[in-house]
Every structure is written in structure tokens, then in C-alpha cells.
Amino acid sequence: MENWLFALQLGVIVVVAVLVIGWAVFALRSPRAGAEPVIRASFRELQKGWYQIHIAVTNRAPYSIVVEELKRVRPRSARLMAPVKQMSTREGEFQVWTHPTTDKATASIPLDLALGPHRAAEGTASRASGAHLTAWLFLPGDGDLPEVTLELATLDGAGHLRRHRFAARREAKC
């Protein structure tokens, strides 16, 4: 009889310990994760093989996030381009661009975009919680893209890197 009572007490202790550990993991992870950003993207063809991508990102988390980089996932043969850096000379300021025929092919472009927190408790969203990005995609060879898959890397309030995959669809031709 004593063995049965001991086994029951041990079982109750184990179940309570597992529940407490599970709750602690969930409680510590939830505030850090926040809400996923809303990403909307489309693209249009500029000329044969050249596409302009428009991306709108809205932060839904209660803390600010930093958009680190934009990466092309599919098609793999495409090259992603954007202004690399801002230059200042006596003649004025201008942007230096990557070029698909001369620069090394990369899968991603760096971004340094800070988005403010979403203030759900106040029932409003800050204007700084959203941003628009523009990038260019060069597709060597023939191909008519209906959709491309991209990935946006962000740093959350605690400095954790998160990757968000999304599809950009081609705008209807006018």
C-alpha cells in the first residue's frame, strides 16, 4: 500500500513540475516574440529581365524592430539590387548602386531600417511603425515571372534575429 501512495505522490510532483516548466518557457518566450510584421509586396517589369519590387512592412510588435536585410529565395538565378551606400562629394550627394553585369552576385542586400513599436494598448499605431522599401531584381535569360519569394531579416527588441519569408506577386499589366 505504501508503494502505491509513493508512486502517486511522485506522479503528481512530476506533472506539476512539467506544467510549471512549460508555463515558464511560454511566459518567457511570449513577450519576446511579439506579433509578426505585416509584409505586402508586389513587383512590375521595367524592361526585359528588370523588375522593380515594392515592399510595405508594418511592425505589429509592442517594441521597435530593425530590418536588417532583404534576401531573394526564388528564383535562385535572379540578382537582387538596391542602393549600396550614400556618397557625398563636392558635386553633391548620390547613391552608389550594385550592377548585375559587373558586381559579384549576392543573394541579399543590407538594409538598415528601424520601425517603431505598435501601440496596441493605446489603440493606435505609430507612423514610424511602417515603412516602404524598393528593390530591383534582375533575371538573366528568358523568363516571365508571376511571383518571387523573398526573405526579410529583422532584429526584435531583445536583439533576436528573425526571418520572414513572403511572396511578391506581379502587378497586372495595364
Per-residue pLDDT tens for 36-61?
A: 888 899 988 888 888 888 888 888 88
pLDDT at 154: 87
CA 59 to chain centre: 10
Q: What's the CA gap between 125 and 8, in Å, rounded? A: 52
Asked if residue 96 lies in contact with residue 88, where contact means CB atoms within 8 angstroms, the answer is: no
Q: Which CATH class is domain 35-170?
A: mainly beta
User: Is the sign of the CA dihedral 101, 104, 108, 110 positive or negative?
Assistant: negative
Residue with grid cell 529583422, as numbered in its chain: 154
**β-bridge mates for residue 81, sequence order:** 136
Domain ranges (residues) in the chain = 1-33, 35-170
Q: Among 83, 67, 49, which residue's Cα sits nearest to residue 151?
A: 67
pLDDT band with cut points at 50, 70 and 90 for residue 83:
low
pLDDT at 124: 52
pTM beyond 0.75: no
Give the contacts of 97 (CB within 8 A, at least 6 positions apart): 81, 82, 83, 84
